[in-house]
Structure 1
């Protein structure tokens, strides 16, 4: 086995899984399914090698001759294949990394070993490296956008296959044991075949919260402590065991699931309250499990070691709790002090958990024990045990599971995640307008200028009793808006101060939009003025999403940061301003080049404003899974940020299907977190040494390219007759809207075919399904061609930019991946779905021409012969999927045609199942959706 290359080992695993899937299909599917699957795969493989119109026609006729049930089974077979390929790739990547570690060689770029080694080799002192570590905050935010089509039960089964596959590689098995393992995999594939991967019902928001919790329970609670251990090892290896560098706990997690109400009518105040309690319930359950393990392990006897005086004092102080509250015998664990302490800690935590559950169920909890006041008391007990073990020479016992639990408690507290709340700016404006209107003699707020609004809002925030409000007389919308702030205040008091992260305002167009939120928070007691001055326990993150908003970001933020009332509130809340940048809508609005460049420029403007005022500023990147929504490898994305803008902190959304790929397996989660954190460490080097400024000539060229790119994008998307009809008809958007993969509607307004009505996610999802992937590359080829013309020197300049500038390199690397996933031959097949064939053909010819232009220009600039030549593993991975994606796309076209043409409602419904399954399958094959 060891004689095989990594690629050969991976191919062997893929072939094994495929063969076992074939066995399951042979035994458990309708008789013809395996034959159809193989003939379609082989036929479309031939077409890839050489176009043959007669063969293509023959394959389409075969597809069109199949009934809905058989088609559904064929699609399901392809979907399971993609899942098995994902498992094989993830497993082999993990094993290759472990082999490198075992060999003691220098590890991969982005590993902690390589990163810390580079700092040490560059002469960065231990003191400076410590200083950098102390500034770090790494904050992925989990969101529930409707792009994750995989059910949790399916994820569990694939996890089992991963673990069995690991045994096949790692353990020395005799023939009988090997046969047993193969039978186990076969059994799990058989279970997959008999488990419906498409949800019968659209998920509720609480289902999405449970889906998010899955990653913490199954993966992250194991991965996070190991990430810290590996970083500590890298520090010791490169700076020496006695260097004195201490790695603080800087990983945090956020979530929008249950807090994001922008455009989702199903997220109510009570939904947010339930989500917070579900988070608290899970984290307390997981701590209790680990405390039980520690109690079994730390069996030290006071007759054989001497605990620290501080620890013994704490045991004495807890004597009444032990006897009266717990009702325990004094002699229990009398000579096993750590077991006694851990038993009390478990009792207290159980009391916390019982109270959370009582509140969730609406039960009375007055008679329940108090438990811990907050996470700090719990952590202090853990620190006491750790320090006492070190005190009597058992530091090794303190550095294992106990230290892991300390890391977990420092990371997750009693709240698990910082739940961000998001709402659209107009909801706040409407609420504030109504509140002002209900006051006697109050002027009409909507008629105010921006300056007048800011004055009125500042006065109201500072007033001891700003409004006389009878909530019963308010509109339902305003009542609900106010209740959200009341929930924030209540949950902070109940669970802890960190339970809510930021209040995010989408579509922020002016400073008053932020001040309106502060006024609404004032009414819930979250901000205000008392005898000691301003207090503020809410932090607001304005979200800038459109090209226009990004270009005006400095004006809005300057007005806000210079407002005396806001300055007072900001200072009271810690003097850190977070600003969120929207990748999705800006890309839909002006195209990928304009979006990317405006985001780049906006970051520099905001950081400069904050620096001038002595404020800390954290940028929050609203990235999606796909390139069209800011996706791409996290390590490269962080390094591609503007120089001197990542000051130790990075916050970004992890959306939809990205959660599954990055965090389902603890082994992969560990790798992904490591790659992101190492990128953050490198990008934050500006904190300890002067950064090298970006070249003005590069910035000027990007200005020009972005202008040309936006021009090309708008010409096609906004100025071409019938373009949106093309999008609606030549993509499976109608199926996406019906797919039960998210609680959020796919449109802001129903039956509205405007670009503004379509959400950014279905926009990207639709183009991806039909193999256009247009949002990720449209305009780039035109921009480069127009800039360089026939000037050889200009091409050389672009090539140098690609080699030297991380931003430009990441942009074109991501473009390559999107061009590779696009297939113009397949995209053309979707034209048959258009009602106006002539118009659709004309639009497609423009798209195809721009695709070819972009392909040529990107390869020229990158100095490559073929796409992704410099990332062969990813190239092979995508090519491997194409074998099954090609037939799936053709099936989808045929099913869409039947579904749309069928007038009989019952017959039409029969075609919906294979349509929805085809969307699921293509999403799984392309490894991203929206």
Structure 2
């Protein structure tokens, strides 16, 4: 489908249908506020005109209330604003549902057959088929679900969205109206902060309703296209899970929550198996199968509804009985219904008894504290704390990897106790679900080789044996400085004989996690992206030198400022210098619901990642491997951008501006996540303690999106002034990595709207600071339009642009209300009760604005 056709279809199938169904939506039965639904369009238009006129939020809101007699009292005004927020929250859901229901019509699914097309062409090309099979034999995509606080609809709302999408596809007006009414009466907000187990339960909805079905379906289609026998199937799609295991900075994650989540995942999985098995049993009523069916009935039912404390891994037993049934069907019953059994075999082979790998993550400083605690407490470790802390080289030398079974005392620091107890718990989790149930320990803020070696020693001091250490130690490099040191850290590790032997026992594979979020906050958009890309080149070279199979695990958030955006295009353009045999990335917040919230979108996005991994090797473009000159140009621009961003960070008003004008403080009060918005939560706010999610979210609520563009314009201007523009233009036209980076930057800017805060240019305190931010925005916009030969941002992605702008229009009233509430708290003397009301109003607007920002691919 041509771009012009897609635009026309998007307008008819999404924008027009949304407007039509919105009239139904405005009749939603909220509480006793008269005429709110009918007044909403007038309020939205009033906000749009006010922003265009660059009025303050107070002027916009108060001039609106001046038109209506029933809203004279402040109490009535606040009540009305809350109702408006409720309507708009649900308008966002309606727009999501309309857009998802038009997935096929709009033409995004045109690309979804590319993978199958490639496989079909291989059927007539023996050499191509052989190459693809070899690639797939050592290739996988791992999607790791994380509970970062960027968006979470409660389970009931997710179910309504699913049903609404289905009703919209069928144009079932009656059910659409009923579902919209249900939506109106269903709470969107958690009354209390969720626990890590609550977060795991929320994410498990996607595991149970989407990934369980889609992963096996894609695997089945690929096996069928390439004619791979089911017994020779190699798992291509893997799942990872962080809620309940990620204790980095989250004081609410502990051993008990890890244990509960592991058990819950197993139980949910067996309920999925049991539902499928009931269909198998209903169809297979033949002689010779009964005894196997009876065994499976007991296994599936008991594990679904009567789970025991310490279960065992029953995967082999389940598969044995399923294969026995399959054999009986093939030998005695002409293979009748054998496809139902093969489907369940494929699912059990994929998910075992664990469903998804539960990753454990902790900060290196906590792990060092646990190491030092055992050295101090137990002389039998043979280490002198003074000696091992003298230097990194001495510490690496002193770690002897002795196997002991040391106990932690009850008076130890709580984080030390948790670290040592979870190391022991991992062994129990593996017993109940195989090593795939919990096989990775991620070391956040990894700064030196001894951070990994010390953790390995902690395992050996906790009852694990060197030869049976079924754990992958995953360093996480995230800040610009840590990324620059990453290559030296890994060289030290590979050169360590004991660690090298461990890698060999682990299939000669090393996983390295690279984080986008903190590097963006640390060094700005361009430097963060370039630092990670450059680190990948250096880390790949060292891994190849030591003959290690390197796996990059990318910590990506939803928006481009946190590594999101057109993800599959990054992976399709890595070039020859970067290991790309495996694709692993985090998916979180709105990315989960927008890209993996339905069977169609999940299938599309997973296949896009699979295709990106295959194409990056089979059809690699010359421009994707950067020349030395290209690297030099990007490096110089990254430093220009970094200098510009650092001058902003060091500005005395930087943090004060964010704290005063954005809802940063209220983020801590929003019951989305169990973890705090900053580390060291009891202390005064420092930029280094502020979590990257909170940092990026605060800028997005201001509609300024600084982390997604600031410094890019300065870098491009510098390139032009130094006669390098032709080089930059060549990079954009030929390097998939650089083009994707710039296109994602344009997406960030399209989601910005400085007109909303234009009144700030006259502010006595922040006026010049605001003007400086706006100046870099305009500079970056000018150069990106020149670079992409466009007249508007995202001109080359018209459907995504239309979707972004439609969402921005929906949430504009929310932003007006939010900024009005923030400024009222700043400028008025309020009672504690009034302050509480305004804080709640701000918190409620945050949800809708965040939930609307789903355009990340």
User: Taking structure 1 as the reference length, what is the TM-score of the superposition?
Assistant: 0.85
Q: 1:478 aligns with which of 383, 407, 416?
A: 416
2:835 corresponds to 1:908: yes
Aligned to 2:769: 843
Q: Structure 1 residues 442 and 464, CA, compared in 2 at 3 Å: closer, same or farther?
A: closer
Aligned to 1:282: 268
Q: Structure 1 residues 352 and 32, CA, compared in 2 at 3 Å: closer, same or farther?
A: closer
Q: Distance in 1 between matches of 2:464 and 2:507?
A: 14
Q: Structure 1 residues 771 and 6, CA, compared in 2 at 3 Å: closer, same or farther?
A: closer
> C-alpha displacement at 1:576, in angstroms?
1.0
Q: 1:591-646 CA deviation, whole Å, 9 max, x = no partner?
A: 01111001001111112111111111111101011111100133213124343534
Gaps spanning 5+ residues in structure 2: where? 67-73
Q: Distance in 2 between matches of 1:477 and 1:125?
A: 53
Aligned to 1:869: 795
2:208 corresponds to 1:217: yes
Q: How does 1:2-13 map to 2 (within 5 A)?
A: 5-13=9-17
> C-alpha displacement at 1:115, in angstroms?
4.2
Q: Distance in 1 between matches of 2:347 and 2:230?
A: 22
Q: Structure 1 residues 53 and 649, CA, compared in 2 at 3 Å: closer, same or farther?
A: closer
Q: 1:861-905 CA deviation, whole Å, 9 max, x = no partner?
A: 111111111111111111212322222211111112234445311
Aligned to 1:492: 430
Q: Structure 1 residues 645 and 685, CA, compared in 2 at 3 Å: closer, same or farther?
A: farther
Q: CA RMSD in A?
A: 3.0
Aligned to 2:735: 805
Q: Structure 1 residues 669 and 483, CA, compared in 2 at 3 Å: closer, same or farther?
A: same
Aligned to 1:722: 653
Q: 1:571 aligns with which of 493, 496, 504?
A: 504
Q: Distance in 1 between matches of 2:599 and 2:852?
A: 22
Q: Distance in 1 between matches of 2:843 and 2:741?
A: 32
Aligned to 1:83: 93
Aligned to 2:523: 590
> C-alpha displacement at 1:57, in angstroms?
3.8
Residues 746 and 758 in structure 1, CA contact (< 8 A), matched pair in contact too: yes
Q: How does 1:689-700 map to 2 (within 5 A)?
A: 693-700=625-632
2:564 corresponds to 1:631: yes
2:359 corresponds to 1:420: yes
**3-state SS of paired residue (2:186):** coil
> Across the two proteins, how many residue pairs are aligned to each other?
839
**3-state SS of paired residue (1:23):** coil
Aligned to 1:305: none
Q: Distance in 2 between matches of 1:893 and 1:596?
A: 32
Q: Structure 1 residues 86 and 679, CA, compared in 2 at 3 Å: closer, same or farther?
A: same
Aligned to 1:323: none
Aligned to 1:380: 320
Q: Distance in 2 between matches of 1:374 and 1:384?
A: 16
Aligned to 1:732: 663
**3-state SS of paired residue (1:650):** strand
Q: Distance in 1 between matches of 2:239 and 2:345?
A: 16
2:543 corresponds to 1:648: no
Aligned to 1:184: 175
Q: Structure 1 residues 470 and 715, CA, compared in 2 at 3 Å: closer, same or farther?
A: closer
Residues 646 and 684 in structure 1, CA contact (< 8 A), matched pair in contact too: no
Gaps spanning 5+ residues in structure 1: where? 101-106, 169-180, 302-335, 360-364, 529-533
Q: Distance in 1 between matches of 2:709 and 2:459?
A: 42
Q: 1:453 aligns with which of 386, 390, 395?
A: 395
Aligned to 2:69: none
Aligned to 2:18: 14
Q: Structure 1 residues 187 and 95, CA, compared in 2 at 3 Å: closer, same or farther?
A: same
Residues 245 and 258 in structure 2, CA contact (< 8 A), matched pair in contact too: yes
Q: 1:155 aligns with which of 131, 155, 158?
A: 158
Q: How does 1:615-630 map to 2 (within 5 A)?
A: 615-630=548-563
Aligned to 1:398: 338
**3-state SS of paired residue (1:756):** helix
Point out the more displaced range, 52-61 or 757-766: 52-61
Q: 1:667-726 CA deviation, whole Å, 9 max, x = no partner?
A: 221112111221122224389x999743222212111111111011101112x1211101
Aligned to 1:306: none
**3-state SS of paired residue (2:727):** helix
> C-alpha displacement at 1:406, in angstroms?
2.1
**3-state SS of paired residue (1:577):** strand
Q: Distance in 2 between matches of 1:647 and 1:664?
A: 26
Aligned to 1:39: 42
Q: 1:341-373 CA deviation, whole Å, 9 max, x = no partner?
A: 223212133344466x232xxxxx8xxxx9x75
Bigger radius of gyration, 1 or 2? 1
Residues 449 and 492 in structure 2, CA contact (< 8 A), matched pair in contact too: yes
2:457 corresponds to 1:519: yes
**3-state SS of paired residue (2:792):** coil
Aligned to 1:231: 222
Q: Distance in 2 between matches of 1:214 and 1:781?
A: 42
Residues 110 and 635 in structure 1, CA contact (< 8 A), matched pair in contact too: no
Q: Distance in 2 between matches of 1:218 and 1:242?
A: 27
Q: Structure 1 residues 124 and 829, CA, compared in 2 at 3 Å: closer, same or farther?
A: farther
Q: Structure 1 residues 97 and 865, CA, compared in 2 at 3 Å: closer, same or farther?
A: closer
Q: 1:58-80 CA deviation, whole Å, 9 max, x = no partner?
A: 55532696622211100111111
Residues 10 and 799 in structure 2, CA contact (< 8 A), matched pair in contact too: no
Point out the more displaced range, 53-62 or 282-291: 53-62
2:748 corresponds to 1:818: yes
Q: Distance in 2 between matches of 1:773 and 1:476?
A: 38
Aligned to 2:234: 248
Q: Distance in 1 between matches of 2:257 and 2:403?
A: 31
2:691 corresponds to 1:759: yes
Q: Structure 1 residues 738 and 84, CA, compared in 2 at 3 Å: closer, same or farther?
A: same
